[in-house]
A and B are shown apart, each in its own frame.
Chain A
Amino acid sequence: DAKTTQPPSMDCAEGRAANLPCNHSTISGNEYVYWYRQIHSQGPQYIIHGLKNNETNEMASLIITEDRKSSTLILPHATLRDTAVYYCIVRWNTDKLIFGTGTRLQVFP
């Protein structure tokens, strides 16, 4: 079973920041938080991952709370092409990625 909870859907205006929350209150010390997104009828795309510290790359920023029980994925300037289902995944101490239901982000003009 997925160990994360995400809102089923969110809207965001184009050009604004999209902040996608994720709850992972049962995360253990060695587990990472991964974010993937899936645009309709395509394979998932890796976005970012982190353990304790905040992370930033060319796509997004990941903010992890100090207690690591929740995190937020930030798309700083959302575009229409960012419309997708975003999955927050806590990585077990194995190779497996177990997908939950994700958040459907709709970016509107």
Chain B
Amino acid sequence: GAVVSQHPSRVICKSGTSVKIECRSLDFQATTMFWYRQFPKQSLMLMATSNEGSKATYEQGVEKDKFLINHASLTLSTLTVTSAHPEDSSFYICSARRSGGSATDTQYFGPGTRLTVL
């Protein structure tokens, strides 16, 4: 299967600082990437859809000014958690869909980034 990486795998930051998480598709081009958040013992919650060269589409209830998404190339999307607070501590996971396919093409997930805000 296709490979998606995330960096960093773990990050600890102080309250009020910003944290950037990178998501890369290593062996394919991804027009569309997705960002999820997962709290302990809960399922994945879709936060936003990231489209290369255009603005991200956020799910209801997700603050676009707090979770900044940039998809500047076909292999890289970034999620920046601005002014992080302890309640933002979570497991952040991205996924990528191969370019040129149909909407039902398989999505491949990254390994996740564990964010802890002190």
Between-chain CB contacts (< 8 Å), 17 pairs: A32-B104, A41-B114, A42-B112, A43-B4, A43-B6, A43-B95, A43-B109, A44-B44, A46-B107, A46-B109, A91-B104, A95-B32, A96-B34, A97-B34, A97-B46, A99-B36, A99-B44
**Distance between Cα atoms of A49 and B107 in the complex (Å):** 11
- Report how many residues on chain B are interfacial, defined by Cβ distance under 8 Å: 25
Q: Across the two chains, which residue of chain B brings its CB closest to A92?
A: B103
Across the interface, B95 reaches (CB within 8 A) one of A32, A87, A97, namely: A97
For chain A, give the interface size range. Answer: 20 to 34
Q: Across the two chains, which residue of chain A brings its CB closest to B110?
A: A43
**Distance between Cα atoms of A34 and B64 in the complex (Å):** 29
Interface centre among A43, A46, A97, A100 (most CB of B within 10 A): A43
Q: A94 and B103 in contact (CB under 8 A), knowing A46-B1, A99-B44, A101-B43?
A: yes
**Distance between Cα atoms of A45 and B111 in the complex (Å):** 9
Interface residues of B, dominant DSSP: strand
Chain B interface residues (CB < 8 Å from chain A): 1, 4, 6, 32, 34, 36, 43-46, 49, 91, 93, 95, 97, 103-104, 106-112, 114
Contacts of B110 in A (CB 8 A): 43
Contact B34 A44 (CB under 8 A): no
**Distance between Cα atoms of A42 and B38 in the complex (Å):** 11
Across the interface, B109 reaches (CB within 8 A) one of A34, A45, A100, namely: A45
